[in-house]
């Protein structure tokens, strides 16, 4: 029905996908014509459309009151460009062709004088297509503006004699000829069917031409280039634009008429004849017509010679380098022409690396002693002159084939020459005889080869998660660079991705290659059916305008290859594959919990969406992949309704959910390593669980009725009758296994809800009959002189326990304090006061600091402070506030144990110690975020934070684990220590204008939940779902902590709050989310060390540095 309405003109619709034009359906064509009338009514004036160019904001003003909105204006602008009503000439301006004059505003013919320093080119056309001149002028304005910009960037300090003059560089250098050619523009004139540029020493002219071709009137294009230094490389610049415009937008001109004659032919007038004709005209002598060389003849002659003979003056050869400069690449600098004597290339099968389109072959070769890849274009030589019609046709076919090869060679070489990026293969040089160019040689071949070699025996991600992320990032970085230069790759696939290294420490692992069919979009999209079936976007169809989103579709297919190790096969025939892709059928990949690169898999599906407007831009993907969340977030696994969650200690990859009570009690076992639920809702009647411990082949299950049931585990068999049942005076709140005393024997500590610690001796997996208890209340009163009415004597549950000091001590929570058990004497020996009542310590963890000494971290539920103790001296070394809204790059000072706050001071003198905020200053700066500083910290420490980004980069001494420099480039600089020691004890007062840390009910999502010692880092999950990652580093003998990453997956927002977290097998972090319906969801993260983060950050920091260096070097 819609097609019928479109065919009858009742409804207007255009299938172009560029900028989402196909999403608009015009219900009222009359209304649309009225909208267009607003544009046609514009008069060329200085205020609105000077020189026929209108600013985008002025064009938007014309939409006011028409019904177009901000959401549809981009499609409307694309509609205007489709019909050449308004063509983009920059990001913020449009050309209105109807405002251009029909004739030039000055007498250009009076400025032109035919001399021997002039070359011409004539395009004979049976017809000039509608829109040709409009699009050509728009392209020229864009190209000239880009040349202005490049010149401004490269020659900022160049002094010019005339400030109003603009320099254009056509780089017409060649061996044994002039150096880089530059023109100083003095006038630029364009009208409806022409463009004219004058400069010191010559001019360029492109205009419509009606020429008497053997008494047959026909339209055409006439191009004139004059140069006093006889450098006609500007002719190549112009003809490139004409030919690419015709090939892409007006391919009908390349066809033939019914009698076999070409619809378009190129002719090159002999410039020597033309100059003589001009002189004879001036003297009034008889004039002979100048010789017009057919372009086919020039191409066939250029295969063997660099000159051609004119019948009017056979004794004076005509230089083809001047006549057809584009064939001899005269716009290329001399340094890029290969010296054939230094090129070692043998065309045998052993050296073949691959084949390209149009019969091109890529060989392994050596140039100047270094390995290179040579792409050879095959051109057949034409023997003798044609003597019959068959010979003439054969000559024509050979000429067409040669012209096609020359065209593809020039296009790809020119594009490679203009690209300077570490992820784009570099051009070594070019050669005309033979026709070839040399490229960097990839040591490992294509990505297709590498994946096929590494995917054997691997289900997913055959190259490993870190290398896969780096390769995917470098590919999209290269794409973003191409798109920034308005280039559409059109043929992105694993075959065109060359691999340099598989070492994750290398800065560049891959490079993009093969730009033979790439297109320049000129802000207007592109036409043409290009690409490889399976990688080709479904919107690429004849006469359909598309944009850079086609590359993002291909990128999605490449991501599929990286994740699966397989090619995206959807059929054997191109039509079959295209039909499936247009219907939304895609290659099948495993579930996210199997692939375990959640963000990359989601990006893959977003990129290969059938609708181009739903695919992301390459530059936005680059931003996404700079977030470490992209690589560390493995998957999420919904686990339905459950009551409680418990993790396993040691190297086991299991977590257990319990649900229900009495007869309905059941358990679910999840394997985070494989992302599977191994046991689901297995019945195990009994009271509701409050705590669990799995160690070796035993499972200790503590229930609410103050009992502990010890089960023997045999494989995945269901839990049956417990081997032993133990009674406790209170419910168990946590378990801890002590180090092995002797073979098959160990000790289990059970922290109770009333503050007691039960001690069970276990032999052969069975606890003994005797049980002893450690009483926190008694120790506080008798050893630490804490009276019964002190809030610290409340019956606090034991929330956390941790083995420290090489297994000789156990630190456990006692309300706001920590009690330390001497494991040898099995008695409470010391008390620490990290917090004050009513705070309750919820998590304790142990790891090593920069010098390799043990430290203990503890966290409370009220102040939200992270506190660090030095184990050997029991001294408090650092505090960090975990409630910062933007914690990235936060830093905190770590005091040396000898200078730290005494943690064992007399109890009566700990008023300041009991108030965690009393000795703190909260200070904020936009450069480094919120800083929590002890009043005992030095003024040096705070001033160091302020000067953080400007200090010399060679002062840092990293930890042995090599803490990453920073997620931001400025963070790689160290702290300054240029202040005197006498300032160390100055008290710091926050400025009244400083942003204080927010306090209130809306900060619950910032509450830290647990401390996870992941390798050499500390991970702090918060209720809002994000994870603060803290690393330690040392500088000039002092240590500090720094937030090196904040991990947050927005995909987890619908699953409620983060309520628990666990470190599984030392390399996997599992975060548990629970919503209001008690439905649980596991978020599984890859447990990175500081080295992993360092590799990740350097992946884009070094790439950016290399790109900058290449741009400056150019």
Q: Please list the active-site residues.
A: 491
Are 1072 and 474 in contact, with CB atoms under 8 Å apart?
A: no
* Residues 815/792, Cβ–Cβ less than 8 Å: yes
Measured CA to CA, the distance from residue 703 to residue 707 in angstroms comes to 6
What is the Cα 436 distance to its own chain's centre?
A: 33
- CA angle 406/408/414 to nearest 5° reads 95
1077, burial (CB in 10 Å: exposed 0-12, middle 13-18, buried 19+): exposed
Whole-angstrom Cα distance, residue 599 to residue 608? 14
Straight-line distance from the first to the last Cα atom of the chain, in angstroms, rounded to the nearest whole number = 57
Rounded Cα–Cα distance for residues 941 and 53 (Å): 57
Q: Are 1097 and 1088 in contact (CB under 8 A)?
A: no
Its sign, for the CA torsion 39, 44, 50, 53, is: positive
Distance CA 999, CA 1007 (A): 11
Separation between Cα atoms, residue 331 and residue 234, nearest integer Å: 7
H-type alpha helices, 921-1063: 939-946
**Cβ 174 vs Cβ 337: under 8 Å:** yes
- How many CA atoms does the CB half-sphere of 115 hold within 13 Å? 12
Q: Is 242 left (phi over 0), alpha (psi -120 to 50) or beta?
A: alpha
Alpha-carbon span 496 to 482, nearest angstrom: 15
For 981, the token pair is 């020691």
Report how far Cα 949 is from the mean position of its chain's Cα atoms: 25
Contacts of 139 (CB under 8 A, 6+ apart): 241, 245, 522
Q: Count how many residues are written for the chain.
A: 1114
The alpha-helical segments, DSSP class H, found in 96-206 are: 132-154
- Distance CA(470)–CA(499), nearest Å, equals 12
DSSP 1008: B
User: Does residue 54 contact residue 96 with C-beta atoms inside 8 Å?
Assistant: yes
Q: Answer whether 968's CB lies under 8 Å from 889's CB.
A: yes
CB of 841 within 8 A of CB of 777? Answer: no
Q: How far is CA 458 from CA 446, 565, 576, 594, 714, in A?
A: 19, 8, 29, 12, 30
CB atoms within 10 A of CB 705: 13
Q: Is the dihedral of CA 390, 393, 398, 399 positive or negative?
A: positive
Phi and psi for 121 in degrees, rounded to 5?
-145, 135
CB-CB contact of 230 with 239 (8 Å):
no
User: Which DSSP state fits 411?
Assistant: H
Q: Are 447 and 557 in contact (CB under 8 A)?
A: no
3-state secondary structure (DSSP) of residue 919 = coil
């Amino acid at each position: 029905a819609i097609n019928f309405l479109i065919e009858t003109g009742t409804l207007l619709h255009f299938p172009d996908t560029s900028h989402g034009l196909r999403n608009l359906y015009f219900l009222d064509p009359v209304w649309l014509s009225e909208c267009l009338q607003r544009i046609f009514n514009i008069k060329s004036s200085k205020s609105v459309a000077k020189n026929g160019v209108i600013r985008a904001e002025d064009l938007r003003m014309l939409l006011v009151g028409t019904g177009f909105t901000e959401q549809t204006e981009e499609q409307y602008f694309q509609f205007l460009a489709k019909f050449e009503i308004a063509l983009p000439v920059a990001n913020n301006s449009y050309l209105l062709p109807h405002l251009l004059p029909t004739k030039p505003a000055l007498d250009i013919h009076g400025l032109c004088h035919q001399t021997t320093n002039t070359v011409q080119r004539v395009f004979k056309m049976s017809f000039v297509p509608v829109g040709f001149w409009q699009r050509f002028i728009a392209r020229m304005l864009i190209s000239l503006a880009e040349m202005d910009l490049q010149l401004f960037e490269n020659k900022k300090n160049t002094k010019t004699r005339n400030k109003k003059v603009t320099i254009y560089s056509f780089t017409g250098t060649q061996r044994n000829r002039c150096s880089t050619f530059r023109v100083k523009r003095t006038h630029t004139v364009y009208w409806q069917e022409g463009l004219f540029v004058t400069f010191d020493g010559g001019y360029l002219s492109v205009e419509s031409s009606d020429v008497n071709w053997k008494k047959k009137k026909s339209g055409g294009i006439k191009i004139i280039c004059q140069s006093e230094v006889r450098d006609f490389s500007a002719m190549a610049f112009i003809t490139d634009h004409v030919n690419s415009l015709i090939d892409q937008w007006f391919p009908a001109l390349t066809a033939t008429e019914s009698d076999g004659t070409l619809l378009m032919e190129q002719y090159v007038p002999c410039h020597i004849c033309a100059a003589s004709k001009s002189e004879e005209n001036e003297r009034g002598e008889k004039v002979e017509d100048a010789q017009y060389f057919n372009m086919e003849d020039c191409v066939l002659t250029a295969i063997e010679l660099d000159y051609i003979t004119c019948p009017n003056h056979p004794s004076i050869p005509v230089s083809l380098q001047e006549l057809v400069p584009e064939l001899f690449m005269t716009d290329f600098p001399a340094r890029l022409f290969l010296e054939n004597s230094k090129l070692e290339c043998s065309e045998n099968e052993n050296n073949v690396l691959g084949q390209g389109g149009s019969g091109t072959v890529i060989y392994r070769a050596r140039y100047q002693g270094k390995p290179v890849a040579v792409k050879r274009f095959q051109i057949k030589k034409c023997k003798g002159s044609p003597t019959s019609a068959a010979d003439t046709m054969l000559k024509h076919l050979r000429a067409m084939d040669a012209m096609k090869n020359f065209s593809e060679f020039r296009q790809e070489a020119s594009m490679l020459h203009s690209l300077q990026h570490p992820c784009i293969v570099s051009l070594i040089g070019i050669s005309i005889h033979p026709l070839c160019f040399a490229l960097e040689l990839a040591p490992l071949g294509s990505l297709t080869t590498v994946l096929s070699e590494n995917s054997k025996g691997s289900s997913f991600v055959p190259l490993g998660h870190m290398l896969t992320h780096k390769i995917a990032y470098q590919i999209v970085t290269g794409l973003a660079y191409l798109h920034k230069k308005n280039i559409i790759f059109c043929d992105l696939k694993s075959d065109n991705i060359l691999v340099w290294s598989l070492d994750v420490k290398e800065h560049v692992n891959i490079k993009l290659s093969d730009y033979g069919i790439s297109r320049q979009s000129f802000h207007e999209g592109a036409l043409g059916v290009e690409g490889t079936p399976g990688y080709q976007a479904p919107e690429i169809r004849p006469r359909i305008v598309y944009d850079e989103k086609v590359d993002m579709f291909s990128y999605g297919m490449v991501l599929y290859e990286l994740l699966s190790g397989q090619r995206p096969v959807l059929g054997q025939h191109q039509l079959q594959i295209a039909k499936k892709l247009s219907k939304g059928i895609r290659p099948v990949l495993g579930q996210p919990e199997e692939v375990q690169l959640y963000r990359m898999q989601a990006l893959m599906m977003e990129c290969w969406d059938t609708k181009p407007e739903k695919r992301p831009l390459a530059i936005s993907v680059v931003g996404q992949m700079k977030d470490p969340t992209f690589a560390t977030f493995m998957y999420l696994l919904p686990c339905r309704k459950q009551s409680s969650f418990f993790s396993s200690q040691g190297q086991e990859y299991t977590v257990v959910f319990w649900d229900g009570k009495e007869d309905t009690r059941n358990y679910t076992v999840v394997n985070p390593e494989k992302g599977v639920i191994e046991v689901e809702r297995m019945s195990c009647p009994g009271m509701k669980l409050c705590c669990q411990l799995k160690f070796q082949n035993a499972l200790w299950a503590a229930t609410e009725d103050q009992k502990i049931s010890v089960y023997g585990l045999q494989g995945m068999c269901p839990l049956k009758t417990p081997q032993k049942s133990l009674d406790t005076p209170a419910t168990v709140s946590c378990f801890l296994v002590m180090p092995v005393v002797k073979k098959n024997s160990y000790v289990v500590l059970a922290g109770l809800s009333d503050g007691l610690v039960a001690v069970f001796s276990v032999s052969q997996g069975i606890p003994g009959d005797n049980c002893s208890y450690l009483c926190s209340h008694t120790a506080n009163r008798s050893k630490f002189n804490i009276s019964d009415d002190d809030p610290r004597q409340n019956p606090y549950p034991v929330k956390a326990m941790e083995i420290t000091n090489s297994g000789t001590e156990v630190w456990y929570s006692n309300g706001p304090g920590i009690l330390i058990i001497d494991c040898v004497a099995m008695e409470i020996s010391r008390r620490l006061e990290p917090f004050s009542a009513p705070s309750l310590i919820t998590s304790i963890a142990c790891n090593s600091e920069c010098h390799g000494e043990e430290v203990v971290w503890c966290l409370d539920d009220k102040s939200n402070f992270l506190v660090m103790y030095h184990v050997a001296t029991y001294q408090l070394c650092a505090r960090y506030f975990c409630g910062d809204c933007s914690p990235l790059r936060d830093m905190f000072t770590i005091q040396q144990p000898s200078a730290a706050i005494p943690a064992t001071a007399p109890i009566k003198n700990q008023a300041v110690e009991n108030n965690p905020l009393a000795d703190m200053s909260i200070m904020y700066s936009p450069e480094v975020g919120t800083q929590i500083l002890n009043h005992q910290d030095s003024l040096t420490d705070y001033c160091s934070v302020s000067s953080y980004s400007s200090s010399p980069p060679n002062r840092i001494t990293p930890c042995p684990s090599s803490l990453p420099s920073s997620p931001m480039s400025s963070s790689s600089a160290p702290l300054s220590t240029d202040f005197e020691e006498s300032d160390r004890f100055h008290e710091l007062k926050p400025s009244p204008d400083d942003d204080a840390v927010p306090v209130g009910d809306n900060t619950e999502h910032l509450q830290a939940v647990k401390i996870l010692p992941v390798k050499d880092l500390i991970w702090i999950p918060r209720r809002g779902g994000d994870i603060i990652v803290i690393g330690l580093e040392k500088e000039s003998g002092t240590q500090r902590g720094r937030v090196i990453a904040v991990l947050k997956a927005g995909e987890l927002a619908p699953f409620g709050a983060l309520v628990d977290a666990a470190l599984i097998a030392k390399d996997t972090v599992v975060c548990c989310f629970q919503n209001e319906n008690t439905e649980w969801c596991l978020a599984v993260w890859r447990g990175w060390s500081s080295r992993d983060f360092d590799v990740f950050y350097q992946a884009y920091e070094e790439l950016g540095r290399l790109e900058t260096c290449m741009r400056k070097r150019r």
